[in-house]
Structure 1
Amino acid sequence: MQSVSQEVAALKADSFGRIALMRDEQGLFVRRDLIHVPLWLRLPAWWLARREALALRRVAGLPAMPQLLRWDGRRLDRSYLDGAAMYQRPPHGDVAYFRNARRLLQRLHRRGLAHNDLAKEANWLVLADGSPGVIDFQLATRGHPRSRWMRLLAREDLRHLLKHKRTYCPQALTPVERRVLKRHSWLREAWFATGKPVYRFVTRRLLKWEDNEGQGPKP
């Protein structure tokens, strides 16, 4: 018998799909639906959703991360995490939050997954109990955790976390963490020189996004 689900609230809609909070007999979950994606964007939207599904399979069983429920090529359903985005509930002075966030990243990287989009505060959650959570794995990279490429990406994930720690809990930064923040990889330099201008042009000019670098709608 097919499960009957009902939409509870719309969470986000952009050119790559519509995200909504849903409910079925098992409880709350989150759905990314590609049905309304424009024809010219369906292939990249499908590719991103499939990439997220593969990443979520890689983190199956890990706490504080969404769990894949279903992916049929058009709809991606994942478990719901009860919390607020970091910019909505800032962890000011919360040393435990950032200590646990680093442990969360270590678990993620041991599974052979780099998130690649943790500069956005919207992708860090402060869960109901105050602990960290991570969402939105569309840009995640899978690979052997000890390969040079994956180690480089893991360092970039860590550096982005430390930037948030510098914003909300600067007094707790260790000397080693300060050195990590000062050390810029060739990947970061290449992104700012080439990738980011293209990203901004595509998202702001072509797709008309105005998400303030992942910190919510502009006022």
Structure 2
Amino acid sequence: MIEDDPALRRVLVRGLEAADFQIVWAVHDGASALGRVAAVAARPDALVLDLGLPDMDGMDVVSALRDRGVGAPVLVLTARDALPDRLRCFARGADDYLTKPFAFAELAARLDVLVRRRRSDAGTDTDTDTGAIAIALDPLRFRLGSGGTAVPLSPTEYRLLATLLVRRGEVVRRETLVCSAWPAGAIVRENTLDSYVTRLRRALRVAAVDARLDTVRGIGYRLH
């Protein structure tokens, strides 16, 4: 569980434990969560995540988890109820989304579905050794790294790359990339997105990572 409000965090832990969930860890910020999942043995069956964290946006935590090969489903629990926020979370790798205030019974039911689905898919677990993916993203400093090389990214560049990385090998539509990287209501022209993709290609070359960013004409982009 990743929730910065200590009172709510205690309530959630007590309530979920009373509903027969085992809380393996509960932390207040994104850095602590990423540190916990660095140890494969500590990886949970599912995560409950707030978006308004003190050190980073929860969406960036989702991206970083997926970058590290953590396939556990993520249930976002947040006060943000706007549709663009939901769409951005799903584009970045979240599995479910519940807004505050919420009914505790609904939270438990949604979490139960995610955990059961996770365990039924255990034979094809998506957790991977992070060494298999040459790209490493730092959500605290907005950097792209590989080995000893670190390339700074703007927040928009970071979110574009994170969205592409979460869906590596898939064609990601232009509309999805715009939704995930720019705030709701932003006017983003086609050549603006293309310009950012050009910057990302340059950053990938500088970082010398094992990746290629292709254009799928008229649709979007694919990260190999």
Same fold (TM over 0.5): no
Normalising to structure 2: TM-score of the pair? Answer: 0.32
Hey, which of these two has a bigger chunk of helix by percent? 2
Normalising to structure 1: TM-score of the pair? Answer: 0.33
Hey, which of these two has a bigger chunk of strand by percent? 1
